[in-house]
């Protein structure tokens, strides 16, 4: 039953790709980003705000880092995803997002000083080849003779932002609870998103947009983070991370059934290559045991 936590989280994140695409036709990206966190902060404040006030002296020194994390993970990543939905499909968005663990591995080299294994390099080549095969509709070298769809390019930038967010979150260890981290980043993101929201042509959301905001604000911003953190506590980060590879499968299936997006052979082949490459890059090679030196004979001892 414990493994249902990361599974449900992946289903929520997979469904979020569908919401991103539907939101592009219903509400402006600037307004969607703002109302998503407005709702989440509104619901979390009764539980988190008293703790934030009580521990403000501890939180205050980390405000700059929290603000930078909020900008990467909750402003740039999510806002760019909504803008990407204007010119690309939910299937492509999910497939590009699935590269985040791979991006994080390579960003860990300069930011965390971690070495890259040979499996990670092979996995990267395999995953990027699969992505190029999918985006090029069967032509791996499509980018040599045609432009990348704006939405696909935006999603690549969004994924890089989230990859950096994940690595910096690990580097900047803060003596704060998970809910305090989420709440503070969400509140800071809301402040950053306010000027962007004020540029919207319609400040108030329509009735059609309300379910989308509810899903993004409740399921994707509150329920999914809680279940993910709980899963990491119970089964470990490595086991939980492997479930992330199911996210594009869930999203593409939902896109085909709910949005009527066609699934072609290049989606299946490219997706299989991407998922295989990401899984390969996540495999940790066992460290070679150090063979102890044989004991000295009594005659050899000084």
Q: What is the DSSP string of 234-249?
A: HH-HHHHHHHGGGHHH
Domain ranges of the chain: 3-282
What is the model's pTM?
0.82
Q: What is the DSSP letter of 116?
A: P
Name every residue whose Cβ is closer than 8 Å to that of residue 26 and which is 6 or more positions away in sequence.
Answer: 206, 208, 209, 212
CB 99 within 8 A of CB 131: yes
Given its phi and psi angles, is residue 148 left (phi above 0), alpha (psi -120 to 50 degrees) or beta? beta
- Vertex 60, ends 72 and 47: CA angle to 5°? 80
Which runs of consecutive H residues, i.e. helices, occur in 174-264? 178-198, 210-214, 224-235, 237-243, 247-258
Helix (H) or strand (E) holding 97: helix 90-97
Take residue 294 and report the two structure tokens written for it.
Answer: 């044989």
How far is residue 44 CA from its own chain's centroid? Answer: 21
Backbone angles phi, psi at 145, to 5 degrees: -130, 5
Name every residue whose Cβ is closer than 8 Å to that of residue 287 and which is 6 or more positions away in sequence.
Answer: none
> Cα separation of 50 and 58, whole Å?
14
pLDDT in tens, the chain (302 residues): 777 888 888 889 889 889 988 988 889 988 999 999 999 999 999 999 999 999 999 999 999 999 999 999 889 998 999 999 888 888 888 888 888 878 888 888 888 787 877 887 888 888 788 888 877 777 777 666 667 788 989 999 999 998 888 888 888 888 988 889 889 999 999 999 999 899 888 888 889 999 999 999 999 888 888 887 788 777 766 666 677 777 778 888 888 888 888 878 887 888 888 888 877 776 766 655 555 555 555 444 44
């Amino acid at each position: 039953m414990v493994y249902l936590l990361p599974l449900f989280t992946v289903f929520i994140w997979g469904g979020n790709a569908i919401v991103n695409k539907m939101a592009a036709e219903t509400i402006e990206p600037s307004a969607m980003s703002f109302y998503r966190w407005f709702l989440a902060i509104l619901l979390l404040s009764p539980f988190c705000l008293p703790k934030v006030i009580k521990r403000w002296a501890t939180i205050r020194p980390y405000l700059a880092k929290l603000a930078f994390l909020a900008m990467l993970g909750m402003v740039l990543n999510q806002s760019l995803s909504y803008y990407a939905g204007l010119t690309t499909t939910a299937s492509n968005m999910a497939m590009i997002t699935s590269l985040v663990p791979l991006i994080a591995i390579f960003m860990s080299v300069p930011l965390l000083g971690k070495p890259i294994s040979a499996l990670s390099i092979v996995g990267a080549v395999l995953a990027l080849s699969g992505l190029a095969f999918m985006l090029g509709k069967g032509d791996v070298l499509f980018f040599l003779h045609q432009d990348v769809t704006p939405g696909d390019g935006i999603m690549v930038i969004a994924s890089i932002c989230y990859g950096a967010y994940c690595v910096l979150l690990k580097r900047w260890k803060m003596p704060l609870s998970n809910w305090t981290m989420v709440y503070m980043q969400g509140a800071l993101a809301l402040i950053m998103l306010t000027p962007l929201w004020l540029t919207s042509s319609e400040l108030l959301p329509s009735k059609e947009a309300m379910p989308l905001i509810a899903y993004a604000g409740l399921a994707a911003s509150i329920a999914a983070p809680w279940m993910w953190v709980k899963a990491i506590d119970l089964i470990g980060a490595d086991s939980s991370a492997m479930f992330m590879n199911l996210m594009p499968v869930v999203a593409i299936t939902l896109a085909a059934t709910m949005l009527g997006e066609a699934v072609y052979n290049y989606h299946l082949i490219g997706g299989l290559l991407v998922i295989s490459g990401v899984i390969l890059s996540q495999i940790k090679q066992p460290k070679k045991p150090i063979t102890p030196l044989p004991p000295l004979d009594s005659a050899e001892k000084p």
